Amino acid sequence: MTAFWSVQSPDYESDYEHSYINGSLEHPFGLPGIECDICGQTWGGIRILKYECLPELRGNKDVYEGWPIGREHHARLQQQVMRALNMRGEPFVALRPGDEFQPCFLDVPSRPQADFLWASLGSMVVSERIKETLLCLCPDEVAVCPVTLRKIGKRSANLPPPMPSTGEPEDIINEVPLLEDGAAAERYYEILVRNESGYPPGGTPVSICPGCKRPEIGKGREIRMQSEMWKGQAIFVLATTLYIIVTDDAKKAIEQLRPTNVVFLPI
């Protein structure tokens, strides 16, 4: 029987350590949230797409500001984006409120050296060797996007994190010495997982808005992977969550590299 594992960050002593080691990944361009006139919900997801936001779209304030807009306005924007990207599909199905596009920019207060950086929800940032392993293991199950290193610290990631004057972990980047050229650091890649499992126990939507397609999940959902939910992929997302799951064979292939800054937890 196949075992399943959640790929996660290790426990850190503080939020300062987490921010110092992993930094943050920014996707400046994406679809805004939505104010739906049918279900009455204002919402937006955090799905990250492989598509690059084209220059003709980047000047649209709805694409770079992200403030929620009405449903009909959102549908027109999605159609404009799909035409520009030569995509086919139905609004709110092919694209969703909150979808983020490439490129992405990484800011890390220390000089990154780990195989995994937990700088973003919804994706993994990995080293060259982890990227190559995934492409050999399951090339059709992941999308690989280059990461632009924007603000990179000079100090070792193994040193204790400094305390910023504001007391906020995300402000460490503003008070540390930075490399003059981020390209001098190791290369990293954003890994986007293409597939999902079946719904977990209690996770089947009880309703779906006919306008914005927002699913309503009941309160009894369990964060648990069962064999009957598996669709055969080596790496996938647990449906209705952001958990990235790998099979036992995929876990063993990655662990052969003795990867850093990652743990595999049974799920």
pLDDT of the chain along its 267 residues, tens only?
789 999 999 999 999 999 999 999 999 999 999 999 999 999 999 999 999 999 999 999 999 998 999 999 999 999 999 999 999 999 999 999 999 999 999 999 999 999 999 999 989 999 999 999 999 999 999 999 999 999 999 999 999 999 999 999 999 999 999 998 877 788 999 999 999 999 999 999 999 999 999 999 988 899 999 999 999 999 999 999 999 999 999 999 999 999 999 999 999
**pLDDT score of 29:** 97
- The alpha-carbon radius of gyration of the chain (Å, integer) is 19
Residue 20 CA from chain centroid, whole number: 19
**pLDDT score of 180:** 87
**pLDDT score of 90:** 93
**pLDDT score of 198:** 97
Query: CA 215, CA 1: separation in Å to the nearest integer?
Result: 32
**pLDDT score of 66:** 87
Query: CA 63, CA 148: separation in Å to the nearest integer?
Result: 20
**pLDDT score of 72:** 98
263: its two tokens: 């743990």
Cα–Cα separations (whole angstroms), residue 72 to 91, 110, 263: 10, 44, 43
**pLDDT score of 248:** 95
Would you kindly state where each structural domain of the chain is located, as residue ranges? 14-22+110-193, 34-101
**pLDDT score of 152:** 96
**pLDDT score of 110:** 97
Q: Going along 23-103, which residue ranges are E strands? A: 24-26, 34-35, 42-43, 48-52, 69-70, 100-102
> What burial class does residue 152 get, using C-beta atoms within 10 Å of its C-beta: 0-12 exposed, 13-18 middle, 19+ buried?
buried
